[in-house]
Amino acid sequence: MTATTFMIDPRLSFILPAGSKAEFQCQSTGSRPAAQISWWLGNERLISNVRDSVNEDGNATLSTIVFVPSVDDNGKLLTCRADNLPMPHTALKDERLLNIV
């Protein structure tokens, strides 16, 4: 799997207010078949409020997650992980340290 683009947006540090909706996007391109993207908060996989789409060419995946952080999430890592099932042990990830107030 090659990933010409693999990142979580927003890319910069930020402060999130507890109890307010936050939206993040993660994109992986250059993978055939298209990568399967999963979201993690610390060691917990997030499956609610996730939307994935694959482009027409089948080599790019865009995943969007919306969640409501709590004060307990402060200091946890939000991770986007891209896997290509035919190629085990090639996962790519991007992380953001959450600053919740």
Domain containing residue 17? 6-97
Three-state SS letters, 41-60: ECCEEECCCEEEEECCCCCE
The pTM is what?
0.85
* 10-residue stretch averages of pLDDT, the chain, 101 residues long: 55 82 90 90 96 91 94 95 83 90 93
* 51: in domain: yes
- Specify the number of domains making up the chain: 1
In a domain, 1, yes or no: no
pLDDT of residue 66: 94
**Contact in structure between 3 and 82 (CB atoms under 8 Å):** yes
